[in-house]
A and B are shown apart, each in its own frame.
Chain A
């Protein structure tokens, strides 16, 4: 019963927290670029404005697929906060992502299709590391159950510094920040227009933004799990990691997909798998 309440609280709080984080992100980014930047609440204004617009649906599946994606992503966050199985949460998130790709494929626009191609490549680059992180946490704490991980006395980070580093690396892909914002970026002026989300308009685009909020919270929660035994340290670590991501976003150009894939896999192999091997041998 308790788990259900936690899950619902998580689902309800996520948009508020992620929106605020997004707003602060934009202010800090603007500062780094020497600009004034929008008000902190701007992400909420954006989403509200998008909802008030006409929904241009291209075909039968388009909008429905986005809703499916939203459901799975929300479920992933809900399950995470309810303290369910970590692997299940990750797969729910992946399914949500796949629905997004399908929505983009369904539109028949070349920019959207290429964006979807790249989104798949991004998943291919990022997911192995995220799965390794889950396995690593299992090896460190002996369980996939988030409740047990969170209430454990040992933080996973002391066994998994390599995995943690690898996770930060692929986080850039998940948060859609430079240098890995290939499929769709926060700015609609990349080579693929807005890539994956080119054909989304009005409410669909608003849902897309909300999905991204949930994703953000999900990966941040994943970071937190590494420090679960000491909540304050965990929250500070999450904030530092997020700031790092903003910084990386601002000091890099967007790279091409082959470099992204290669580097993500090399990092996964060396830091992720290497760390796990060491752990396996030493334990």
Chain B
């Protein structure tokens, strides 16, 4: 008889426990230090060296020096931190968030202001 009741205690216990589900988005998730989310750029600091573009394993980042733009395609990005590692001025950072769904797969383009470089020079 006991071998058909092995699950009994577990089931009864969880009947009186709080459920394990978290009702996202009503309840915000807990992020750890390393939780991945979305690559963000500090546009004031970027020097358009395009190292991130070269090193990105999936080609998600696109740097255009002439147009002074930095673009990331979140749908290609695999959040591997490679760009964060290689950036010489540490202007890239991981922003912790759950990305919202989008209708079209498009790149997010950031314009890098010219004055930052001038000020440095």
Contacts and interface: CB of A to CB of B under 8 A. Distances in A.
A36 B21 contact: yes
B15 A32 contact: yes
Given A35-B20, A36-B21, A36-B23, A28 B4 contact: no
Interface in B26-80: none
A189 B6 CA distance: 24
A250 B10 CA distance: 10
B4 A31 contact: no
Contacts of B17: 34
Contacts of A281: none
B11 A35 contact: no
A274 B97 CA distance: 66
B18 to A, nearest CB: 9
A30 interface: yes
A153 interface: no
Contacts of B7: 250-252
Contacts of A120: none
A37 B23 CA distance: 11
A250 B7 CA distance: 8
Interface in B88-117: none
A208 to B, nearest CB: 28
Nearest to B22: A36
A247 B12 CA distance: 8
Contacts of B6: 251
Interface residues of A, number: 13
Q: Classify the interface of chain B: helix, strand, loop or mixed.
A: loop
B12 to A, nearest CB: 8
B48 to A, nearest CB: 48
Given A35-B19, A36-B21, A36-B23, A252 B4 contact: yes
Contacts of A250: 7, 11
Interface string A9-36: 0000000000000000000101111111
Contacts of A37: 19
A121 B107 CA distance: 59
A32 B14 contact: yes
Contacts of B23: 36
B19 A251 contact: no
A251 B12 CA distance: 10
B121 interface: no
B44 to A, nearest CB: 44
Nearest to B9: A251
A31 B21 contact: no
A251 B14 contact: no
B5 A251 contact: yes
Contacts of B20: 34-35
Interface in A31-70: 31-37
Contact of B21 (A32, A35, A247, A252): A35
A250 B8 CA distance: 8
B113 to A, nearest CB: 47
A33 B4 contact: no
A31 B5 contact: no
A33 B14 contact: yes
A33 B12 CA distance: 9
Contacts of B12: 32, 247
Contacts of A34: 14, 17, 19-20
Given A34-B17, A250-B11, A251-B8, 6 more contacts: A32-B11, A32-B14, A35-B21, A247-B8, A251-B5, A251-B6
3 smallest CB-CB distances across A and B, nearest first, come from A36-B21, A251-B7, A34-B14
